[in-house]
Amino acid sequence: MQSELMTFGPVRMSGDEDEGGDPSLALKTRPKTKRPPLYKVMLLNDDYTPMEFVVHVLERFFHMSHAQAFEIMLTVHKKGLAVVGVFSHEIAETKVTQVMDFARRHQHPLQCTMEKE
**Nearer to ligand TYC by C-beta: 39 or 110?**
110
**Nearer to ligand TYC by C-beta: 37 or 80?**
80
Q: How far is the CB of 87 from ligand TYC (least distance, A)?
A: 18
Interface with ligand TYC (CB under 6 A): 43-47, 49-51, 54, 73, 76-77, 110
Burial class (CB in 10 A: 0-12, 13-18, 19+), 68: middle
- DSSP strand pairing (81-87 vs 111-116): unpaired
Q: How far is the CB of 65 from ligand TYC (least distance, A)?
A: 17
Cβ neighbours of residue 62 closer than 8 Å, sequence gap 6 or more = 69, 84, 85, 95
